[in-house]
Structure 1
Amino acid sequence: MNKKAIYFRYILISTLFIILVSLNYFHEEIMSFVPFFPNFLLPIFSIIVVIVTAYLLLQKELDVDNLKYQFLTIATHKFRTPLTAIKWITSSLTKEVTHEEKANFLRQIDVSVNRLMEVVDILTGLARFDHRMEYAYETTWIRQMIDVSLDKYVPEYKEKNISFSITADPEIPLVIIDKRKIQFVIDALFENAIRYSPPGGQIEISLRRKDQYVVFSIKDHGIGIGRNEISNLFKRYWRSNESKAAFPDGMGLSLAMVKEIIKRHHGNIWAESKGKGAGTTFFIKFPIAHTKMKRVTLNKVQGL
């Protein structure tokens, strides 16, 4: 048992003791305040108060333990993909390869290592509770981040023989985002689409301007989701029965984190599906980085 746990239990026992002593000491005052309160019920009332207090305090400790478990679960899940990529690349390097192929492999290793660092940053924020994650906003193009994700997932979509199609408006405005956090978001949606796509499937990516927003979407043709279940998609720990059957090791945490990150960007994320077996499309709306909007957004950021 660590020092923090010992300290917590000391506080818990002390608090319960103080409650019991106080109830006993102020026995007469309590009875005069509630004259019709039966005297014999006071000990029972005291026990109930102590039990409720103990439950509430212990619940806080359980929440901390749950957060630790959540951290380890996401860490295991998120580290697996880049580590698999590195393993695949290093295995390829043991064979005879051209100088150009070797340079490309080394570049992919660098991309995977950078991805691991990004995941560490995100998980560090999660360990400090979601609402305390630090954000560093800057102007950038979403298209560049899509290309980064495409490079990261080469081993995964090649293994399943998945093809990508990208359609984008000729001119896509800048957006104000935390690049690492949004890269995490796009990576999570890429990983989700690849995971639930059938072998030989296709993933469709779109980038459009709509009014004062840049709208990113990614569509797969995988297991889909029932319309009555869409509202649960971004809840922590929720997974559809089909998802559990296909990938039992998942925990239903990534999309909850994604939603929180998009919320902090003053954007919106949602999903659409025509039903089970019909695939799923995720949409994200990012506010365009107008000069005026940029100033307002940055002011909000400084106040976080």
Structure 2
Amino acid sequence: MKKNTQISLKVKLIISYITISLFLVISLITIARYIIYNQFEDYVLKNQAKNTRQIVEQVKKAYGNSTKLPNKALLNNIGQNAIDKGFAIRIEDKNDSILWCMDPSLCGHMLSDIEHNMNRLYSNFSGDYVEKSYLINSDGGNQATLILRYYGPFYYNNTEVEFISMLNYTFLIGAIVALVLSVVIGLFMANRISGPIYKVIDKTRKIEQGNYKDVIEITSNTKEVKQLIHSVNSLANTLENQTSFKKRLARDYAHEFRTPLASLQSNLEAMIDGIWEADKERLESLYEEILRLTRMVGNIDSLVSVEENIVLEKSNFDLKEFINKIVINFESILFEKKIEVQLEGPSPVLYADKDKIGQVFINLLSNAIKYSKENSLIQIHIQETKKNIIFSVKDYGIGIEKAEINLIFEHLYRTDQSRASATGGSGVGLAIVKSIVLAHGGNIEVRSEVGKGSEFIVHLPKK
């Protein structure tokens, strides 16, 4: 059975912070150690050369102008000072015979300690014992040569070893502190980032269960998390509206279908029971009810058909001239309601599906006429920009409630005003309008105020 190897975002963030911190700390320590050690090695080499010169000068000074071996106490003092600095010294004559030598046990112990220290600090250190000779006195046939023996190419004395050890200890403490800080900061940042996300997950689970009312009220300084919270809240609001709309739709169509079906049922029962005669007039009435039901179902089918299979056959045509012809077709209705239509704007050439754009305009103009009062005005305005061709239909009729403006393009939605009106349609016209406009790559917006009218503005791209 396959195990679940998923890791939470919080754990991933903490691991990321720790990994990055360790990488940075190790990199900085490595670079710092490299620079400091190189600088320290240069310092040690310079100090070693300086000490060498001082020891040679001290031995020469001890000899002075004499060719005889200086006082052994003085030489022992110089030798002890040399040992403290990491040098073993002896003096030989011209035949390589030892004239004087510091206690070999002290020298051996000192050199052994230095070798041990260097191998402990540098596991791959390729050091070895080095001897250098310096001529001290050669007057009168007598010759004295100072032999300096030390561990090379460079070495650290006890003080320098303590400094290096302290430096390594400081780096170790720094690494541990950085690691602890990275864990603490990682936990803090992980909680800051993942906390809101867990809230969003909890909200989406509630949405999955059908609870859309609770809003995520937490805030975040992270742009993406803030957008995620806003999107989930918007989704919940949209789903709540759609659920409400579906319930309303079900009630509306139950009501719409119930009336003609009840009429059909009662009339047919009366005919079957012999109460009414199945004459031509009654059959025609029943037939009209059946046609009404057919039209209602047909409206739903036409909406689904338009949205699922919009095939555009585009061509160039004069938009203003095309709109003017459609307005002429409505002259009788406009005359009956005493409505004046004003068409304003340029005559741009639009590249679009002429029939479908005609369907859009007919729907908008038809609605404007339906919801306009007698002796009113409908304004049609055409505008051309660099990228778009825009036309709008504005009426001064009953208007639309602000809460319903975002719903009027929903399938089968009708406002309370249109439902109460005798001219109330099936509620599919504006849904079809929106589908056609979107298929052309455009968009449609609505501006409306109850009692003052509505304006529908269609934006269509030139290309």
TM-score band w.r.t. shorter chain: 0.5 to 0.7
With a CA cutoff of 8 Å and minimum separation of 6, indicate the structure with the bigger relative contact order.
1
The DSSP-based 3-state class of the residue aligned with 2:328 is helix
Match of 1:212 among 379, 384, 387: 387
Question: What is the match of residue 327 of structure 2?
Answer: 150
Compared with structure 1, are the counterparts of its residues 70 and 141 closer, same or farther at alpha carbon in structure 2 (3 Å cutoff)? Answer: farther
Q: Compute the displacement of 1:284 (Å).
A: 0.4
Compared with structure 1, are the counterparts of its residues 287 and 129 closer, same or farther at alpha carbon in structure 2 (3 Å cutoff)? Answer: closer
Q: Compute the displacement of 1:249 (Å).
A: 4.5
Match of 2:308 among 100, 115, 131: 131
Q: Are 1:271 and 2:446 counterparts?
A: yes
Question: What is the match of residue 261 of structure 1?
Answer: 436
Question: What is the match of residue 287 of structure 1?
Answer: 461
Distance between the aligned counterparts of 1:176 and 1:199, measured in 2? 36
**How many percent of aligned residue pairs carry the same amino acid?**
28
Distance between the aligned counterparts of 1:129 and 1:209, measured in 2? 28
Gaps of 5+ in 2: 1-256, 258-291
Compared with structure 1, are the counterparts of its residues 193 and 282 closer, same or farther at alpha carbon in structure 2 (3 Å cutoff)? Answer: same
Compared with structure 1, are the counterparts of its residues 145 and 265 closer, same or farther at alpha carbon in structure 2 (3 Å cutoff)? Answer: same
Matched residues, number: 174
Q: Compute the displacement of 1:70 (Å).
A: 9.2
CA contact (8 A) 1:215 1:285 kept: yes
Q: Compute the displacement of 1:128 (Å).
A: 4.0
Compared with structure 1, are the counterparts of its residues 138 and 272 closer, same or farther at alpha carbon in structure 2 (3 Å cutoff)? Answer: same
Q: Compute the displacement of 1:165 (Å).
A: 1.2
Q: Compute the displacement of 1:75 (Å).
A: 6.0
Compared with structure 1, are the counterparts of its residues 70 and 271 closer, same or farther at alpha carbon in structure 2 (3 Å cutoff)? Answer: farther
Per-residue Cα deviation, 1:189-240 (whole angstroms, up to 9, x for no partner):
1111111110111001100113311110010000001222211111111111
Question: What is the match of residue 73 of structure 1?
Answer: 296
Q: Which runs of 4+ in 1 moved over 3 A?
A: 123-129
Question: What is the match of residue 233 of structure 1?
Answer: 408
Q: Compute the displacement of 1:134 (Å).
A: 2.5
Q: Which range moved further: 128-137 or 211-220?
A: 128-137
Per-residue Cα deviation, 1:40-94 (whole angstroms, up to 9, x for no partner):
xxxxxxxxxxxxxxxxxxxxxxxxxx9xx99823868xxxxxxxxxxxxxxxxxx
Structure (1 or 2) with the larger CA radius of gyration: 2
Give 1:240-251 correspondences, 5 Å limit.
240-247=415-422, 249-251=424-426
Give 1:40-119 correspondences, 5 Å limit.
72-73=295-296
Which amino acid in structure 1 is aligned with residue 330 of structure 2?
Answer: Y
The DSSP-based 3-state class of the residue aligned with 1:229 is helix
TM-score of the two chains, using structure 2 as the length reference: 0.35
The DSSP-based 3-state class of the residue aligned with 1:257 is helix
Distance between the aligned counterparts of 1:193 and 1:229, measured in 2? 17
Question: What is the match of residue 17 of structure 1?
Answer: none
Gaps of 5+ in 1: 1-65, 77-122, 294-304
Distance between the aligned counterparts of 1:166 and 1:248, measured in 2? 25
Compared with structure 1, are the counterparts of its residues 139 and 240 closer, same or farther at alpha carbon in structure 2 (3 Å cutoff)? Answer: same
Q: Are 1:173 and 2:396 counterparts?
A: no
The DSSP-based 3-state class of the residue aligned with 2:444 is strand
